[in-house]
Structure 1
Amino acid sequence: MATLDAYGPPGNLDDLDDFGRKAWNKFISDTVDEAVQGPDPRQVLNDSPRPQFYNLTGTDTASDVQRASITWTAFPRIIKITSVGDLQRWQRADASRDVQDEYCEWSVARDGSGKITRVTFTCEGPEYWEVLAQTNPDKVVDLYRAFISPDVRKEDLFSPSGRYQPRNKWNDSTSHGAMHLIQANNTLGAEIELAAAATIRRVLNGQELSTEQELVNCSKYGAAERNSDPHIGAGVNALARQKADISLADPVGLYFDDLSTDGWETPDGSDPRSYWTYVRGDSEHRVRAVYEVPQAKGFAVGDITIGGRPIEFGAQIADFITIRLTGLACRFNSSTAQPQTACKEFPAVDVRPEGFGASAFSTSGRFLDPRPTLSYRSSRAT
């Protein structure tokens, strides 16, 4: 098979013009190349390079290629395991987008009585919107008006200097809309870095690591308590242990896999799955979904029950959503890459006071991506 001409936009969306598509390809290609190289070994030990990860536009994909879909539950597991009972975890998950860290975020609309009428879910990475905003800002405004509210104004989305604000009044809560992901760890850069880091095989004391928790705790490519990070890492590493070359399928992105409605009941006996609609992305790469009952039906989302309990939170629906990424593996049993024989480590560094720069940190104290226009986290580790 030939190399890929260019990486396409997530969901094969058609928002970008020709220049925007070129900018997007460069962003993904550069991010993949950086992930292949890995971190500076003087700053991070036992985590680079990653020779089993490759760029689809620079290396051909062999004829023995296999696709591997990796799926996980959208509800944030960290909230689940730190809550007392379902009611508390649903309340906490619906309270803030900042805790929705499984590459899926949502916003809930209610009627005057507080009953849920619509829940909107998104898994679109913020980097795509940064590129779109830089290359076609008017298109950003049009999309917000189409999917969030006709009342959106350009000044709501852009700073006085013209810079796009991902956390704007229409995309910063669980009640006023969700255009794309904003949680700090929910980025495509983090997805790519996680996948690349997971291609490193680890052998400790003569035993090769293979379980989800062994790998995530040793390789430190994400949070061990999440649904997504350990599962993605283990799925990728299983391919790496077959001595294959690995990449993320084009178009690179996070996608909705499915909604299961087992145990759901509607007032009129209609299929509860029929009210789940994908509204953005092609049929194989869906990045936006809405759960809403048509007004003509005479009942609302809040009248539907799950396990006998009415839907009172968007989080109840998130329990039944799965998110997906797709990897590619080829050249099985051909890689000569040697496993690391130690876990990822951060060596002690003597940092002098003048070495600090405020611009190197976000307001939460986390490192920012060094690229000036795409300051999103490239790591899922907390």
Structure 2
Amino acid sequence: MSTPFKQFTSPAGQAPKDYNKLGLENQLPQFETDWNNDVTGWTEAAIIGNPWSGLYDAPRSGYYNPLVEGYGPDTPPAITWQPFPNRLWTFFYNNGTAVIPQLGGKAMTLQQVMELTDNGQITINDTLYSLYDPDKKGTLLQLPVTRCPSIDWQGKYKDFSPSGPRGWLDEYCEWSIVRDANGDMRKITFTSENPAYFLAMWRIDPNAVLGLYRDYIDPAVQLEDLYLRYTADCPTGKAGDPVIDPTTGQPAYDTVNKWNAGTACTPGQFGGAMHLTSGPNTLSAEVYLAAAATIMRPLSSSQSPQSLICCAQYGQNYRNSDPHIGFAANGVAVENRISLTNPIALYLQQPTNFSAWKGPQGQDVSQYWRITRGTAKSAVNGSDQILQAVFEVPASAGFSINDITINGQAVDYVWVIAQQLLVGLSVTATPISSTPPSSPCVQDRVNGLQPWPVQLLPLDLFYGQSPTDLPAWLAQGTRNPFALVVQGADLKTTAATARIQFSNPGVTAQVTQFLPDASAIPGQTNSGGTQGYIMTITVAPNAAPGLVTVRALNPGEADNVSAADHPWESGLALVPST
């Protein structure tokens, strides 16, 4: 028996609180409409899967859209995992067995890995090693290339990814640290909140996002600090200039601005953790992974999280999150169809045992932990829906976070606290009468390869390297340049032979350039080969509002190829209501 469902709501029901706090209640209806469209698009795309460039990854009929079918009757306990970055533990420590070429084949110590996690870099034997090194000041650490069925420590290595000033915090939880003059930790801000929420809010009114930054990060934040800016001269702008979004007429939002970048924070100057920034830490990726995990795989490939993720190829192996999420969701999908529980988000959970947290004289320190965004015990299954939390010990306490112990271990690194935390998501299940048949492991398609659309965005944002995963706004009566990023396009495609089609007859595209090599895709961590179509999209004044599906045809395909022979992708475009 399903429960009718009409609208996806904001994570932890935060939007009404935010807009009321900001005094912008009149903007809430548009945000809620936009958010519902965003999540609907991601849901539809997740169910479609990848029939274009992969085999045995579509469709995901074990995942349902609650707007169409209603929600099922059962919401089991949340799927949870620890937020410390397990890939750092695995690739650089692994109980002393990791092989790091830059260290002469030796492993780091656990303490060194904890220091690396807090800072993104570490000096060993007078050499600076980094996880993110855009200025090339040190040695960028590397990872083994072959990680399935297990790690090949003696094989090839490649530069660490995901990149970014907090890229290594890829467990859907990131943090920022304020230290005092002695270098001791005073405040740690944890966030599991997705960037799409802020991107969606910014498209309506950048000042709303500014207000949240001033409330939750620092009153010194200026609107210009949040502008996305070009990092190099390009066809749409010069280095340092704001990236203007032609669909809004406003500068675009920089998700990794100076107040939301890195793990170090100096109040009044820079740093903070407003929302997630690491490439894989997106809500669209979470939905996509959950749907991918519903496909049954051969029994021999379903015995462990590692074997299943190697077979199904969702997410990134050796994370605490993706392999565990997929394995747990797959287990539920044996006897159920599933959908992520509304409100869909990644949620921090309260520390598991505050009684083990002690001040230097054994005092209780639980009062220094506070939930700043989201709520505790508010989910239908009783789990927490925390988006942001702060652990802060004021100077008046007479001690710092470093003087605290947890289970007798000094909190010299955030890792010690992260071991006491969990991040979680929930699914709602609809029982089925029999287990779905299994599919072979995912493979790259060789014959019949078609372009897989993965990101559509205004051309300015493409060159500005925006990580947005929101559907592009195609407003009625407009004509603007866009870029469609795909995987698997025929590299012999030209502007003359390229064709982009939209399901809405009021939306048409004229390709002006084909790029055989385009930028990486939000939500992916392997920066796989992508291609791009530069085009002008024209939207008729009477184009029907709503989500629009899209497909990119190979040069040899017929214009009227059926949807069965060349499927349409969802979640990338929207004609907004006026």
Q: TM-score, normalised by structure 1?
A: 0.88
Match of 2:9 in 1: 8
1:163 maps onto 2:252 in alignment? yes
Residue 209 of structure 1 and its aligned partner are, at CA, apart by: 2.3
Which amino acid is the alignment partner of residue 339 of structure 2? S
The change in CA–CA distance for 1:319 and 1:62 in structure 2 (over 3 A counts) is closer
The CA distance in 2 between the partners of 1:25 and 1:60, in whole Å, is 15
Residue of structure 1 aligned with 2:86, choices 77, 86, 109: 77
Which amino acid is the alignment partner of residue 303 of structure 1? D
The 10-residue stretch of structure 1 (353-362 or 286-295) with the greater mean CA deviation from structure 2: 353-362
SS of the residue corresponding to residue 69 of structure 2 reads coil
Residue of structure 1 aligned with 2:360, choices 267, 273, 284: 267
Residue of structure 1 aligned with 2:350, choices 236, 254, 258: 258
The CA distance in 2 between the partners of 1:107 and 1:166, in whole Å, is 15
The 10-residue stretch of structure 1 (245-254 or 92-101) with the greater mean CA deviation from structure 2: 92-101
The CA distance in 2 between the partners of 1:9 and 1:137, in whole Å, is 18
Residue of structure 1 aligned with 2:293, choices 181, 198, 209: 198
The 10-residue stretch of structure 1 (344-353 or 22-31) with the greater mean CA deviation from structure 2: 344-353
Residue 169 of structure 1 and its aligned partner are, at CA, apart by: 0.7
The CA distance in 2 between the partners of 1:369 and 1:295, in whole Å, is 53
Which amino acid is the alignment partner of residue 261 of structure 2? D
The 10-residue stretch of structure 1 (108-117 or 91-100) with the greater mean CA deviation from structure 2: 91-100
Match of 2:332 in 1: 239
1:56 maps onto 2:80 in alignment? no
Tell me if structure 2 keeps the 8 A contact 1:70–1:232.
yes
Residue 318 of structure 1 and its aligned partner are, at CA, apart by: 1.5
Tell me if structure 1 keeps the 8 A contact 2:516–2:531.
no
1:339 maps onto 2:350 in alignment? no
1:24 maps onto 2:19 in alignment? no
Q: TM-score, normalised by structure 2?
A: 0.60
SS of the residue corresponding to residue 329 of structure 1 reads strand
Residue of structure 1 aligned with 2:168, choices 93, 99, 102: 99
Match of 1:130 in 2: 199
The CA distance in 1 between the partners of 2:390 and 2:516, in whole Å, is 40
1:291 maps onto 2:395 in alignment? no
The CA distance in 2 between the partners of 1:168 and 1:267, in whole Å, is 36
Match of 1:352 in 2: 491
Give the paired residue count. Answer: 365
Equivalences for residues 293-312 of structure 1 within 5 A: 293-312=393-412
The CA distance in 1 between the partners of 2:72 and 2:173, in whole Å, is 32
Unaligned 5+ segments in structure 1 are: 373-377
SS of the residue corresponding to residue 281 of structure 1 reads strand
Cα offsets for 1:64-109 (capped at 9, x unmatched): x233410000000001122322211111111231100100000000
Tell me if structure 2 keeps the 8 A contact 1:362–1:368.
no
The CA distance in 2 between the partners of 1:61 and 1:135, in whole Å, is 30
Cα offsets for 1:121-148 (capped at 9, x unmatched): 0001111111011112111001101111
Residue 311 of structure 1 and its aligned partner are, at CA, apart by: 2.2
The CA distance in 2 between the partners of 1:305 and 1:233, in whole Å, is 34
Residue 339 of structure 1 and its aligned partner are, at CA, apart by: 2.0
The CA distance in 1 between the partners of 2:532 and 2:82, in whole Å, is 28
The change in CA–CA distance for 1:362 and 1:223 in structure 2 (over 3 A counts) is closer
Tell me if structure 1 keeps the 8 A contact 2:515–2:532.
no
Tell me if structure 2 keeps the 8 A contact 1:141–1:154.
yes
1:188 maps onto 2:283 in alignment? yes
The CA distance in 2 between the partners of 1:369 and 1:29, in whole Å, is 25
1:321 maps onto 2:421 in alignment? yes
1:109 maps onto 2:217 in alignment? no
Larger RCO (CA under 8 A, 6+ residues apart)? 1
Residue 330 of structure 1 and its aligned partner are, at CA, apart by: 1.3
The CA distance in 2 between the partners of 1:169 and 1:369, in whole Å, is 29
From the CA coordinates, give the structure whose radius of gyration is larger.
2
Residue 44 of structure 1 and its aligned partner are, at CA, apart by: 0.7
Cα offsets for 1:14-36 (capped at 9, x unmatched): 23511011000100011001101
Which amino acid is the alignment partner of residue 38 of structure 2? F
Tell me if structure 2 keeps the 8 A contact 1:74–1:320.
no
Residue 62 of structure 1 and its aligned partner are, at CA, apart by: 3.8
Which amino acid is the alignment partner of residue 12 of structure 1? G
Which amino acid is the alignment partner of residue 70 of structure 2? D
The CA distance in 2 between the partners of 1:325 and 1:368, in whole Å, is 33
Tell me if structure 1 keeps the 8 A contact 2:186–2:393.
yes
Tell me if structure 1 keeps the 8 A contact 2:72–2:428.
no
Residue 241 of structure 1 and its aligned partner are, at CA, apart by: 1.0
Q: If each structure's strand is expressed as a fraction of its own residues, which one has the higher value?
A: 2
Residue 42 of structure 1 and its aligned partner are, at CA, apart by: 3.5
The CA distance in 2 between the partners of 1:71 and 1:133, in whole Å, is 30
